[in-house]
Amino acid sequence: MRLDEQTRPDFPILQRIVNGHPLVYLDSGASSQKPRSVIEAMNRYYERSHANVHRSIHTLGEEATELYELARDSVQRFIGAASREEVVFTRGTTDGLGLIAETIGRTLAKDDEIVVTELEHHSNLIPWQLVARDRGAHLKAVPVLADGTLDMAALDRLITRRTRVVAFAHVSNVLGTITPVAEIVRRARAVDAITVVDGAQAAPHLRLDMPSLGCDFYVFSAHKMLGPTGIGVMYGRRAVLDSLEPGRGGSEMIKEVWIDRAQWNDLPWRFEPGTPPIAEAVGLTAAIEYLEKVGMERVGEHEQALTRQTLEGFARTAGVTVYGPPASVDRGAVVAFAVEGLHPHDVAALLDAEGIAVRAGHHCAMPLMRRLGVVGTSRATFSVFNSPDEVSLLLAAVAGLRSAL
């Protein structure tokens, strides 16, 4: 049985009729849909177990704490982290990257260097711009080559003895490029730079194993991987987390407090001020269980097949340009495309009239758009529930677009 035939009944939203057509949801790269098990787990939590975590000495408080901490164990297993202390919950990828930038930022000095890449989402660029401005540090970007891959020769020139941070995406949210994480980490480590990986587009699609990637930080969101909005994960290598002061203050992240000072809590709570997203953690556990049951290898294969089908279909469609590495290369479940003579927003609006949801615009990657020489693109992204038939509907609709306006 094909994966989508198995999974589609689990996603209630796929029953939606949009503009008279069954929903074809090709925007999981922005936010995926949720299986029933995730929705029900969160409902069950709110209906039976909700209370605040960690300091409530009553039955519900203990249940909520147990469920919240169970999510940490699930994430540890899912990403192959060495210990649960390395798993910090955030509000999402952007929040996690901001937290890392603020925390590491305090340790930077004037003329230190931060290396990013041209294909970064703004969330992995702007926090570093702010840090660079505040600390008098310099921000440098690894160029993207014509085939959508990073210029690794330039990386060698850009990483110097002054480099303190190398921050980059695992999978480009526009091009689908899978970056060579372990190789970049190796080169960064040669100068003792801290490595920060934006895994927002990778975690939903690839089997992750932190020790083999070797990075210091790895950040992702639950809502792009079948889980709820409002929670994300910041993995931090134990030795690095131990060496850092907390970036943000509040309750939960302290052991003892005086008016003028405080003693920090143990890991991972040192980096989790305030009441955390508890129901969302419960939902994340259910999402991970769903993905693990399917198997990440099978998830990856299914989405690669849909991506190839889309790329090959668009290659045969007159007036359609696609961006990123060729279909023969392993890439993320992302296809950015342009239709000659049409603006990406009009493409999305016309496809929506057929019930097909795609993203359009700059995808929060304006420097990359500039490199591609476009204002924006349209973008189809895939998840476990998408079918080859849906890709065929997309291809047919796009083929008819040029006469539509």
Partner 1 sequence: MSAAAHGVYSDVIRERWRKPRHRGEVPGANAVAEDVNPLCGDRVRMMLTVAPDGRIEAAGFIGDSCAICTASADVVADLVTGRSRADAAALEVADVLNVLQSEIRPTRMRCVTLPVSVLGQALNGSKRA
| 82 belongs to the binding site for partner 1 (CB under 8 A) | no
**Residues forming the active site:** 364
User: Which window, 8-16, 69-77, 196-204, 358-366, contacts partner 1 (CB under 8 A)?
Assistant: 358-366
Q: Which amino acid is at 157?
A: R
The binding track of 3-22 with respect to partner 1, each residue x by CB under 8 A or -, is: ----------------xxx-
Other residues' Cβ atoms within 10 Å of the Cβ of residue 216: 23
183/195 Cα distance (integer angstroms): 11
| 357 belongs to the binding site for partner 1 (CB under 8 A) | no
CB of 322 to partner 1, least distance (A): 19
| 369 belongs to the binding site for partner 1 (CB under 8 A) | yes
Is residue 332 within 8 Å of 178, Cβ to Cβ? Answer: yes
The residue (of 166 and 348) whose beta carbon lies closer to partner 1 is: 348
CB of 351 to partner 1, least distance (A): 8
Q: Which two tokens stand for residue 125?
A: 């660029």
The residue (of 158 and 364) whose beta carbon lies closer to partner 1 is: 364
How many Cα neighbours within 13 Å face the side chain of 78?
A: 30
| 361 belongs to the binding site for partner 1 (CB under 8 A) | yes
65/178 Cα distance (integer angstroms): 36
CB of 325 to partner 1, least distance (A): 23
Q: Taking the C-alpha atoms of 143, 332, 36 and 72 in order, what is their torsion angle to the nearest 10 degrees?
A: -60
Could you say which of 212, 263, 328, 403 contacts partner 1 (CB under 8 A)? Answer: 403
| 405 belongs to the binding site for partner 1 (CB under 8 A) | yes
The binding track of 285-324 with respect to partner 1, each residue x by CB under 8 A or -, is: ----------------------------------------
The residue (of 60 and 396) whose beta carbon lies closer to partner 1 is: 396
Cβ-Cβ contacts under 8 Å for 153 (sequence gap 6 or more): none
| 181 belongs to the binding site for partner 1 (CB under 8 A) | no
| 367 belongs to the binding site for partner 1 (CB under 8 A) | no
The residue (of 77 and 345) whose beta carbon lies closer to partner 1 is: 345
CB of 349 to partner 1, least distance (A): 5
Could you say which of 3, 108, 350, 393 contacts partner 1 (CB under 8 A)? Answer: 350
| 328 belongs to the binding site for partner 1 (CB under 8 A) | no
366/349 Cα distance (integer angstroms): 21
Write the secondary structure of 238-255 as one string of H (helix), E (strand) and C (coil).
HHHHHHCCCCCCCCCCEE
CB of 117 to partner 1, least distance (A): 20
Is residue 221 within 8 Å of 97, Cβ to Cβ? Answer: no
CA 204, 279, 286: angle at the middle one, nearest 5? 40
- What pairs with residue 146 in β-bridges? none
Name the DSSP class of 150. B
The residue (of 139 and 404) whose beta carbon lies closer to partner 1 is: 404
- What pairs with residue 232 in β-bridges? 90, 221
The residue (of 85 and 118) whose beta carbon lies closer to partner 1 is: 118
User: Which window, 67-75, 149-157, 226-234, 397-405, contacts partner 1 (CB under 8 A)?
Assistant: 397-405
Other residues' Cβ atoms within 10 Å of the Cβ of residue 110: 8
Is residue 149 within 8 Å of 177, Cβ to Cβ? Answer: yes
Question: Burial letters for 324-358: b for 16+ Cβ neighbours within 10 Å, e otherwise?
Answer: bbebeeebbbbbbbbbeebbbebbbebbbebbbbb
403/393 Cα distance (integer angstroms): 17
| 362 belongs to the binding site for partner 1 (CB under 8 A) | yes
| 400 belongs to the binding site for partner 1 (CB under 8 A) | yes
| 371 belongs to the binding site for partner 1 (CB under 8 A) | no
| 375 belongs to the binding site for partner 1 (CB under 8 A) | yes
Note the residues at the interface with partner 1 (CB under 8 A).
19-21, 343-346, 349-350, 352-354, 360-362, 366, 369, 375-376, 397, 400-401, 403-405
